[in-house]
Amino acid sequence: MLAALCILLLPIRTPAAPAGSSPGEDFSADAKLLYRVVACSGDAALPANIDRTVVARHCRLLKARMERYRRVYLARAKPFLAALRPKGLPDTVVYPFGGGDLLAALTTYPDARRITTLSLELSGDPRRITKIDSQQLDQSLDAVDHGIGGLLAANDSTSESLKSTQQGELPGQLSYFLVALAVHGFEPVALRYFHIQPDGSLHYYSAAEVHAMENRLAAARHGKWTSPDFSEAFANSELVFRSLDGRGPLRIHRHIGANLRDDSLRPDGPILSYLRSQGRVVAMTKAASYCLWSPAFSRIRNYLLANMVFMISDATGIPPEIAHRAGFVQITYGKFQGAMCFDDCPSPEYSKQFQALWASEPQRKLDFRYGYVDAKSSDHLLVTRRPPVATP
């Protein structure tokens, strides 16, 4: 995502909240209605305020895009990425600068049990759909179609489309998450919202707490980002989901709205404490404005180097000098001939390091896009991993 400025069948139960905490208000009914209307999946009944003609028009377009993503993109990317992943990886994923990109997280790590995405964008209020009128629904679904189109067509979203998810009658980020579930054959089971406590544990908001926070608008996580028009209660979401066939385990996706710059990310603060509590993880990032190249994002980069065992990225991942110093090896795919430039160019030194890395490696074919292209529009992908342990 394009960041700112950088099996046993058991009865289905929602995972319990941490001991000693409130289980929190469950917005699963709203999630299932959004899943039906926005992601065009599931069997939730449409209430009287939902214009079925508008939904049908949206779903004709979205279903065609989802099918094309499966047929064209997943058909290439899924077996390729599966061949990259060694056996025995952790089933916990951390995806910094992830925006609404649960889609790529499930493409990259389809067996993940726990996924955490972090970005400047907040999840959004799921309740407005119950009162939306036909004109609002039409306009809101058009906005979702515009935003999700980039993910389904180019495996990427722009900053402008991500900013737009922070206002409107449909929760933009949550809508993207639900479309991702539909594409990959999952359905929502539960939806709760939380804040992270100082020790990294999660406090899930009760109905009374959500009500008390109604008039407290969420704060933008960056001064140049669009200010949300919903309550702070709906910043961070926990979406529990399962396979459509009911087989396999329940899975959890948590999205955290956060500015990952060092001046906002305290080393002993809630977010890093939460991330460290996840133990060993696999990681990913893509189209991340080269933030991990910047000294201003050293804390999230150092967290990754200390806790991940394996990472898939484009060249917005961890620069070779830093990764190699931390004991990682890097394997290249496709071509890299220099970093893309936006308003300005990222570190020329790190761009040269990546060019040298690609030049030093065998040419390995890549026939799909993963995040950014390079300065000459070439697709590329990078694996950063701990070296295999030598056996006696």
* pLDDT at residue number 341: 82
Domain encompassing residue 51:
28-287
Indicate the residue type of 281.
V
| The token pair that represents 74 in the structure block | 């997943």
Q: Does the residue 377 lie in any domain?
A: no
| The token pair that represents 304 in the structure block | 């990754």
| The token pair that represents 208 in the structure block | 């009374």
H or E element that contains 188: strand 186-196
**Tell me: the pLDDT tens digits for 311-329?**
999 999 999 999 999 999 9
Burial readout 287-312 (b: 16 or more C-beta within 10 A, e: otherwise): bbbbbbbbeebebbbebbbebbbbbb
Q: pLDDT truncated to tens, each residue of the chain (392 aa)?
A: 444 445 333 333 334 443 334 489 999 999 999 999 999 999 999 999 999 999 999 999 999 999 999 999 999 999 999 999 999 999 999 999 988 899 999 999 999 999 999 999 999 999 999 999 999 999 999 888 887 877 787 555 444 444 455 556 899 899 999 999 999 999 999 999 999 999 999 999 999 999 999 888 777 766 565 677 778 999 999 999 999 998 889 999 999 999 999 999 999 999 999 999 999 999 999 999 999 999 999 999 999 999 999 999 999 999 999 999 999 999 999 999 999 887 677 788 999 999 999 999 999 999 999 999 999 999 999 999 999 865 55
Q: DSSP for 246-306, please give it.
A: S-S--EEEEEEE---STTTS-TTSHHHHHHHHT-SEEEEE-S-TTGGGSGGGHHHHHHHHH
**Tell me: the pLDDT tens digits for 251-300?**
999 999 999 999 999 999 999 999 999 999 999 999 999 999 999 999 99
Indicate the residue type of 220.
A
* pLDDT at residue number 17: 43
Q: Does the residue 103 lie in any domain?
A: yes
Q: Does the residue 280 lie in any domain?
A: yes
Q: Does the residue 328 lie in any domain?
A: no
* pLDDT at residue number 154: 57
pTM above 0.85, yes or no: yes
8 A C-beta contact, residue 332 and residue 359: no
CA 243 to chain CA centroid, Å, is: 19
* pLDDT at residue number 2: 44
Rounded distance between C-alpha atoms, residue 188 and residue 37, angstroms:
13
The candidate with the shortest Cα–Cα distance to 250, out of 262, 240, 265, is: 240
8 A C-beta contact, residue 311 and residue 317: yes
Q: Does the residue 1 lie in any domain?
A: no
Rounded distance between C-alpha atoms, residue 54 and residue 354, angstroms:
47
Q: Does the residue 329 lie in any domain?
A: no
* pLDDT at residue number 156: 52
Rounded distance between C-alpha atoms, residue 180 and residue 192, angstroms:
18
When the pLDDT of each residue in the chain is averaged and rounded to a whole number, the result is 88
Q: Does the residue 250 lie in any domain?
A: yes
Give the number of domains in the chain. 1
Q: Does the residue 151 lie in any domain?
A: yes
* pLDDT at residue number 365: 96
